[in-house]
Amino acid sequence: MHCSKCHRKAVTFIRYNGMYLCKEHFVEFFERRVKKEIRKQGLPKGTIAVALSGGKDSSVACYMLWKILKDHKDRKLIAITVDEGIKGYRDKTIEIARKLCNELGIEHYIISFKDEIGLTLDEISEIRGELAECTYCGVFRRYCLNKLAKEKDAKVIALGHNLDDVSQTILMNFIRNDLERMARMAPHKKIQPGYIPRIVPLRMVPEKEVTLYAYLKGFDVSEDECPYAIRAMRLLYREFLLQLEEKHPGSRHSILKSYLELEECLREKFPPAKLQPCKICNQPSSMPVCMACQLKEKLRKSKEK
Ligand SMILES: [Zn+2]
Ligand SMILES: [Zn+2]
């Protein structure tokens, strides 16, 4: 098939808008949406941190921000990688992250669960009790990211979430009746003391297109999935949304659009919780003792048993 915009050979078919695109036009289509989204979400002056796991999504988010910021004198991009301590998985992606930062000339910082929490995720897995690895991982990862970004005086943290991730999260929150969590989804507009707001530059782009973009740009990406993801509820939503998209192309976009129409009402109904420094670690929290410190304590107790 030929590109719908020129005579070159198409590399992909975009089902939800019926377009065949060649490499050049796909790259243009991809970058245009990401740039538009970044403009919409806003990039403050100062240091911009990107959470770089070394997976395809965060690598592409990092590259796009680098591309946009390389001519900006008043904004500086840094990358933060959280090392959860997952043997045979994270070691590989950390290498990829390091290589990408080297090539692009981006300062790269690594923060590990072992140093911050005292345990790797593999060790947590052995004593985790009834909570899944992903619960600990999510809380500790956010803790590590915020801590390091704050130390580096970052104004915002960019996450690699794509349209599939975001529509899964919206649906999950809706089905669990957790609208408060829905109201707290990134991008964050209100600045909270001690909490670095997040932006999500890829939220308008389906996962498949991020993969294709990474491939066309020749990025080194790992195909491996996190070994603990198998227990995550998210997988069910992922499967469901892919089936839905197959039958009704454009469903993920519709889910996000519906959310965006509700966003303001949600934020009004659930205004940001008042944050205070955690009594133990000093990181911002809506409770006297933050979730990370609570989980740390839980792990300490189960280790003693
Ligand atoms: Zn073309
Ligand atoms: Zn704490």
- The answer to whether 164 touches 237, Cβ cutoff 8 Å, is no
Q: How far is the CA of 141 from the centre of ligand 2 (A)?
A: 13
Ligand index nearest the alpha carbon of residue 143: 2
AA letter at 189: K
Ligand index nearest the alpha carbon of residue 10: 1
Residue 60 lies in a domain: yes
Length of the chain: 305
Residue 264 lies in a domain: yes
DSSP state of 195: B
Partners of 49 in the beta sheet?
Answer: 78, 157
- The answer to whether 212 touches 162, Cβ cutoff 8 Å, is no
Ligand index nearest the alpha carbon of residue 3: 1
Mean per-residue pLDDT pooled into runs of 10, the chain (305 residues): 95 96 98 96 96 95 96 94 93 94 97 95 90 90 96 97 96 94 90 91 97 94 79 84 96 97 94 91 94 95 83
- What number is the ipTM of this complex? 0.91
Q: How far is the CA of 231 from the centre of ligand 2 (A)?
A: 26
Q: How far is the CA of 27 from the centre of ligand 1 (A)?
A: 10
Residue 298 lies in a domain: no
Q: How far is the CA of 33 from the centre of ligand 1 (A)?
A: 17
Q: How far is the CA of 115 from the centre of ligand 2 (A)?
A: 15
Q: How far is the CA of 253 from the centre of ligand 1 (A)?
A: 24
Partners of 13 in the beta sheet?
Answer: 20
- Beta strands across the sheet bearing 46-51: 107-112, 75-83, 46-51, 154-158, 198-199
3-state secondary structure 2-44: ECCCCCCECCEEECCCCEEECHHHHHHHHHHHHHHHHHHHCCC
Q: How far is the CA of 52 from the centre of ligand 1 (A)?
A: 31
Ligand index nearest the alpha carbon of residue 288: 2
Ligand index nearest the alpha carbon of residue 117: 2
Q: How far is the CA of 153 from the centre of ligand 2 (A)?
A: 19
CATH number at residue 80: 3.40.50.620
Ligand index nearest the alpha carbon of residue 11: 1
Residue 253 lies in a domain: yes
Q: How far is the CA of 28 from the centre of ligand 2 (A)?
A: 44
Residue 282 lies in a domain: no
Q: Which residues surround ligand 1, an ion (CB under 5 A)?
A: 3, 5-6, 8, 22, 25
Q: How far is the CA of 280 from the centre of ligand 2 (A)?
A: 5
Domain interval for residue 65: 38-274
Q: What pLDDT score was predicted for residue 156?
A: 97
Residue 285 lies in a domain: no
Q: What pLDDT score was predicted for residue 273?
A: 84
Residue 288 lies in a domain: no
AA letter at 50: V
How many domains does the chain divide into? 1
At 44, phi and psi to the nearest 5? -65, 160
Residue 87 lies in a domain: yes
